[in-house]
C-alpha cells in the first residue's frame, strides 16, 4: 500500500491515478498509470534543509514555487485547505513569507491533467516574482527541452547555466534542435534553462512519456536570464520546471500559471533518437 508519510487522497479514472497530500502542501505526490505500479514522480522524504522560518521538507512530487529563487520564500508547509468541486483545489494558509499558494487539479480525459497554479501576495509592499511549477520525476528518464529552428539573422535560442552546473557534465546533451538531460544519479547537481517558444517539454521514462504543455508569452519578461523552462538533476530526482512571466503584485493580488500534463504508456527509451521522434510529433499543431 502507498505510504507518503502523510494523509493523502486521489483523483483517478480508467487510465490515471493522481495522489495529493491532504494536510500539508499544496503538493501532488503520486502519478500512476493504472496498468503499472511505479510512481512516475520522485519521492524524496529524506531531503530537507533549514530556512529562515524553520526546517523545510521537500517530499518530492509536484510543487508551486516563486522565482527568482530566494530562501526567504521557502517555508515549512503547515496546514492545508482541500476544496472539492470541479476537480480539487489545494490551498496553503498564508505563510510566514506572506505568500499563499494554491494548486487546482482537474482530470480532463483519460490521459490528461490540468493544473492551475495561483500565488497570492499578502505583504504591505509590492513584490515582483514569477510563478514557478516544479515537477520532480523519478530518476532514469530523459528530460526533453525542444529548441526553435527558425531561420534568419536574429538569435532564437538561449542556454542558461546555474553556478553549480559543470558545462561538460556527462548527463547533458546539446543538439541543434534539443536540450537533453539524463536522469542519472550523481551527488553533483546540474541545472539548465532556456526560453521555450514551443509551449511544451517532456520526459521519456522508459515505460511512459510525460509531457507538460504551457503558455509561452512572446512579450513576457521572465526570470533567470529569460528562462520559462528549466531542468534539474541530482541524486534524488529529475525535475521539469515551467515559469510564468514576472509580475508585480500588491497586497491581496494574485497571479496564475497554467499547465496541462499528458501521460502516455508505451516504449519510450531515454535516447536521443526517441527524443527527436517525440519532438517531431509534438511540434506539429495539436
pLDDT tens-place string over residues 20-58? 999 999 999 999 998 788 999 999 988 888 999 999 888
Q: Is residue 1 part of a domain?
A: no
Q: Cα Rg for the chain, rounded, in angstroms?
A: 18
Q: Is residue 77 part of a domain?
A: yes
Q: Looking at residue 155, what is its pLDDT? A: 86
Q: Is residue 195 part of a domain?
A: yes
Please state the domain count of the chain: 1
pLDDT tens per residue, range 202-238: 999 999 999 999 999 999 999 999 999 999 999 999 9
Q: Looking at residue 33, what is its pLDDT? A: 96
Q: Is residue 242 part of a domain?
A: yes
Kindly report each contact of residues 10-19 with a partner whose C-beta sits within 8 Å and lies 24 or more positions away, as own/partner: 11/87, 11/88, 11/105, 11/107, 12/107, 13/107, 13/110, 14/110, 15/110, 15/111, 15/263, 16/107, 16/110, 16/111, 16/113, 16/263, 18/105, 18/107, 18/113
Task: For cell 529524506, name the residue.
Answer: 46
Q: Is residue 200 part of a domain?
A: yes
Q: Looking at residue 111, what is its pLDDT? A: 95
Supply the pTM of this predicted model.
0.96
pLDDT beneath 50, residues of the chain: none
Cα gap 38→231, rounded to integer Å: 22
Q: Looking at residue 100, what is its pLDDT? A: 98
The residue range of the domain holding 198 is: 8-282
Which CATH number covers residue 33?
A: 2.70.98.10
Q: Looking at residue 152, what is its pLDDT? A: 80
Amino acid at each position: 500500500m502507498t505510504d507518503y508519510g502523510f494523509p493523502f487522497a486521489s483523483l483517478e479514472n480508467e487510465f490515471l491515478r493522481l495522489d495529493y497530500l491532504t494536510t500539508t502542501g499544496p503538493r501532488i505526490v503520486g502519478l500512476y498509470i493504472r496498468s503499472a505500479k511505479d510512481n512516475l514522480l520522485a519521492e524524496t522524504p529524506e531531503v530537507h534543509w533549514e530556512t529562515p522560518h524553520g526546517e523545510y521538507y521537500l517530499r518530492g512530487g509536484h510543487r508551486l514555487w516563486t522565482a527568482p529563487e530566494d530562501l526567504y520564500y521557502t517555508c515549512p508547509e503547515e496546514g492545508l485547505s482541500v476544496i472539492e468541486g470541479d476537480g480539487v483545489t489545494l490551498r496553503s494558509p498564508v505563510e510566514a513569507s506572506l505568500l499563499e499558494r494554491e494548486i487546482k487539479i482537474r482530470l480532463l480525459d483519460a490521459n490528461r491533467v490540468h493544473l492551475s497554479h495561483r500565488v497570492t501576495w499578502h505583504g504591505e509592499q509590492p513584490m515582483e516574482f514569477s510563478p514557478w511549477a516544479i515537477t520532480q520525476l523519478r530518476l532514469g528518464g530523459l528530460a526533453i527541452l525542444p529548441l526553435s529552428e527558425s531561420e534568419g539573422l536574429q538569435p532564437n535560442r538561449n542556454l542558461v547555466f546555474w553556478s553549480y552546473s559543470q558545462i561538460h557534465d556527462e548527463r547533458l546533451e546539446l543538439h541543434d534542435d534539443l536540450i537533453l538531460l539524463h536522469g542519472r544519479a550523481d551527488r553533483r547537481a546540474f541545472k539548465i534553462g532556456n526560453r521555450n517558444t514551443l509551449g511544451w517539454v517532456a520526459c521519456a521514462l522508459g515505460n511512459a512519456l510525460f509531457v507538460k504543455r504551457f503558455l509561452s508569452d512572446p512579450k513576457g519578461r521572465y526570470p533567470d536570464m529569460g528562462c520559462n523552462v528549466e531542468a534539474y538533476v541530482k541524486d534524488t530526482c529529475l525535475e521539469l520546471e515551467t515559469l510564468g512571466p514576472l509580475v508585480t503584485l500588491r497586497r491581496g493580488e494574485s497571479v496564475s500559471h497554467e499547465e496541462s500534463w499528458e501521460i502516455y504508456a508505451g516504449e519510450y527509451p531515454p535516447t536521443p533518437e526517441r527524443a527527436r521522434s517525440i519532438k517531431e510529433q509534438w511540434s506539429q499543431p495539436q
